[in-house]
Amino acid sequence: MKRRILTVLAAGAITALALPAPAQAATTITYGPLSIGGYCAAQVNSTAWIGFYESTGLHCYATGPNGLRNVGSGNPLAACDHLSIATITSASRGPSDSLVCTGP
């Protein structure tokens, strides 16, 4: 009887080891202009309050006499790291100049 139970347990353990682990979905987080502005104010220029990931890069803006004025630029991946506690491996430009951060 003990031998039969051990055989069944061993077979179950081998089957469990042979099954593939379920795939985990990638983490994707999208940040808008005000969130990007938080990174800008903390890391680029303290007067910045809004930021956009434009075709030429991540740019930070503050209010000027004639509207928004560019006060510097930042690193998109550094912005993702600043804004998220998740592990981020890439940063890309999203709709409406948003910042899309992706991790494993």
pLDDT score of 17 more than 80: no
pLDDT at 25: 75
With both helix axes pointing from N to C terminus, report the angle between 33-43 and 76-83 in degrees, rounded to the nearest 10. 100
What is the model's pTM? 0.74
- Cα–Cα dist 83/91, whole Å: 12
Q: Is residue 18 part of a domain?
A: no
Q: Is residue 9 part of a domain?
A: no
The 10s digit of each residue's pLDDT in 48-104 is 999 999 999 999 999 999 999 999 999 999 999 999 998 999 999 999 999 999 999
Q: Is residue 14 part of a domain?
A: no
pLDDT at 13: 44
- Residue 40, H or E segment: helix 33-43
| Range of the structural domain that residue 42 is part of | 23-103
